[in-house]
Every structure is written in C-alpha cells, then in structure tokens.
Amino acid sequence: MKRYLIILYLIALVAVGAAADSLAHMNYVKLSVAMDLLEKFLLLSGPFIFRLNIKQWFIYVLALLLFYMVGFDYFYNWIHSLPWDYHGSVKLWDRVLAQFPTHGIVFTRVILLTLGVSLTLKYLR
C-alpha cells in the first residue's frame, strides 16, 4: 500500500509544481508563491513521511524527476487552459520537444512513466 501512496504523492507534487508555475504566469503571484512553498515542503518532507532510508532517497528523487518529465506540461496546460499538446518556445525543454511529433513525445512519456512507476514499486517499499 505504501508504494501506491508514494506514486500518488509524486503525482500530487507534479500537480502542485505545475499549478505554482501556471499561476505565476497568470500573474497570481501570492497564490503562486504559496503553491511553490507547498511544493517545496512536500518535496522535502516526502522521504520522512514514508520513512525512506538514505539509499531510497536517490530512487525517490529519480522517480520524481521522471514523473515531472511525464506530467508537468500536461498539468500546466490544463491549469493554464491551453491545448493538451501545447509546447512553448521559451525554455530549452520546449524547444527540444518542438522538434518531435506529438505521438513521439507521448510514446516517450509513456516509457518514462513506466520507468517511474516500476522504480517506485520495486525499490520504495
């Protein structure tokens, strides 16, 4: 049960981070700062909440990065009322993704999601 709660926790972290970024771009600065602080607090308290040992912290951070690569843009676009496959042109990540067709990006993200979930299920017990 703990492994599934960690997966939900990581998804919630991605959603809170995307909300903070999206609210900042919509000029809701105070709410954005509050969401950003909540994200940082949840990020740092996660290993303590789930009582992970030091060796598991690396897997926790790696799984979180994989979940960010998979879901951040989708949560951001949803909160910002943009099309689900929208990619900006400012950040390096957006310019790299703009080079590939949408089905290729979705396929890559499915692989990353599978890797993130499998790492969590196998190592974060």
- Dump pLDDT digits (tens) for 31-44: 999 999 999 999 99
Task: Look at the block and give the residue holding tokens 């949408």.
Answer: 102
94 pLDDT above the threshold of 80: no
**Amino acid 85: pLDDT:** 83
Q: What is the pLDDT of residues 59-77, one digit of tens each?
A: 999 999 999 999 999 999 9
What is the CB neighbour count within 10 angstroms for residue 79? Answer: 17
CA pair distance 110, 125, nearest whole angstrom: 23
Query: Which pTM does this prediction carry?
Result: 0.90
For residues 10-30, average pLDDT: 94
> Could you tell me which residues come within 8 angstroms of residue 50 by beta carbon, excluding any fewer than 6 positions away?
2, 5, 6, 9, 124
